Structure 1
């Protein structure tokens, strides 16, 4: 019998059930992390836990025990050479209404999935993007966090069905580039590596943090038109790694030395990247 494709723990017990009145379901009141495991190891685990901890403090949530999370993540990923583990933390139950519960008892869900298979050539040839019509709302209080409300990304992803388009580029309400629906964006412009500022909206990915820590990168506002003049574009994702961008709409790019250097760094961390 083949191994199940999904394994799930709720508060440390095998289950796929949460109370219907959980605040994560009612209000999106919680956070999540999506973590790539390779042979039982998550190279970016410390960065995931740092973001989760910082975000819990910002959302006034108790910080979960990291050792328990790791033990549960290893349990649901056990036996899979390539796994993706999603950790979800909600504020748990509360009285009806938006007021915070007097006593917070968070719920945690740790789910393991077999890592998805991607076309073998995407790391060499890159992916195609489109520009999404929906704009991300600006809310600095929530900027950077991976909170449970992902409706903007859901609506953005509903804008296309063409399998040749791998992801959609998202801008904020002022037309500044933020990210794609699933990844952070980097561009080589005038010879320098830049990435959008995420002070107003967007998710500050852990893969993005790894790039910032290992390469000279300028973080700044980027207008959409500037991307037409970029010599390289690539995406960073904790699950998919470093992906070259082949085209945004009708603008075509070539994978260059900066993208290839970051792919080599990714492989050195322990992530397989076919044909990169």
Structure 2
């Protein structure tokens, strides 16, 4: 079900600033039954994004009620919350008192295959480079054109994701997941102060595994890592099997983080 400002519908105004300018934010949240194990972290990131974009922060209790109404009786669901600055005057100037458009939409959780969690996934090394914009780095704003263009670079169904770098040649993330590497036995995840999305599962793992370092990760160092794996609040921890012709194998750090993810209440089993 899709709710727009609390009403069951699936349309917004053609003058909505989210459509015209990508002026807004979104969160994609996995539900397991009535529970969303990472909900508090999603709400924290949404509040940070609202502060960054000067948007009013929605009431988390209201979002929770609408999330449950939208989810209905789905045993497992993926929920998307989108906030835009709403309808305003033509032009880039912000409305003095924005009336935020709130969209809450639930979809059935896609079928999961246990093999990628066990054996890993293949990545395409993207030609697309992420532009640096510290003001927008970390938050999940509505403009995802870089990811759309990167995803268009491959159509091989055996390739699950694409590896994205910035203009300096540092690895940033996959198109729809954060990335971790194990370098000389130490877990590392790329710094995201200049570009990229700071995922909520990434935040959870950084707290649970305090030995993980956050720093720039040059592509050559990434490709020489002992382990490589992705983190996603919907898909969980996916070991990387290969990046182009470079082969990897799942290792103990990825397995430990998979166990932590499952301990939160997630699984690769379909209800």
TM-score normalized by the length of structure 2: 0.98
1:133-144 → structure 2 map (5 Å cutoff): 133-144=127-138
Q: Does the alignment pair 1:8 with 2:2?
A: yes
SS in 1 for 2:114: coil
Q: Which residue matches 1:67?
A: 61
How far off is 1:80 after superposition?
1.1
Q: Which residue matches 1:225?
A: 220
Task: Provide the C-alpha distance between the structure 2 equivalents of 1:227 and 1:252, rounded to a whole number of angstroms.
Answer: 12
SS in 1 for 2:156: coil
Q: 1:175 aligns with which of 169, 178, 182?
A: 169
Q: Which runs of 5+ in 2 are unaligned?
A: none
Q: Does the alignment pair 1:98 with 2:92?
A: yes
The answer to whether the 8 Å contact 1:35/1:45 transfers is: yes
Task: Provide the C-alpha distance between the structure 1 equivalents of 2:247 and 2:34, rounded to a whole number of angstroms.
Answer: 38
Q: Which residue matches 2:122?
A: 128
Q: Which runs of 5+ in 1 are unaligned?
A: 1-6
Q: Which residue matches 2:104?
A: 110
Q: Deviations over 1:204-251 (max 9, x none)?
A: 000100110100210000000112221111100000001111111111
1:138-177 → structure 2 map (5 Å cutoff): 138-177=132-171
Task: Provide the C-alpha distance between the structure 2 equivalents of 1:56 and 1:132, rounded to a whole number of angstroms.
Answer: 30
The answer to whether the 8 Å contact 1:40/1:78 transfers is: no
Q: Deviations over 1:144-198 (max 9, x none)?
A: 0100000000000001000010000000111110000000000000010000000
Q: Which residue matches 1:4?
A: none
How far off is 1:269 after superposition?
0.3
SS in 1 for 2:112: coil
How far off is 1:76 after superposition?
1.3
Task: Provide the C-alpha distance between the structure 1 equivalents of 2:187 and 2:268, rounded to a whole number of angstroms.
Answer: 22
**Structure 1 residue ranges, 4+ long, deviating more than 4 angstroms after superposition:** none
Range moving further from structure 2, 233-242 or 74-83: 74-83
The answer to whether the 8 Å contact 2:77/2:109 transfers is: yes
Q: Which residue matches 1:48?
A: 42
Task: Provide the C-alpha distance between the structure 2 equivalents of 1:18 and 1:203, rounded to a whole number of angstroms.
Answer: 26
Q: Does the alignment pair 1:196 with 2:190?
A: yes
Range moving further from structure 2, 112-121 or 91-100: 112-121
Q: Deviations over 1:67-100 (max 9, x none)?
A: 0000011111121111000000000011000000
Q: Deviations over 1:96-117 (max 9, x none)?
A: 0000002211000000000111
The answer to whether the 8 Å contact 2:228/2:248 transfers is: yes
The answer to whether the 8 Å contact 2:113/2:268 transfers is: no
Across the aligned residues of Structure 1 and Structure 2, the Cα RMSD in angstroms comes to 1.0
How far off is 1:118 after superposition?
2.5
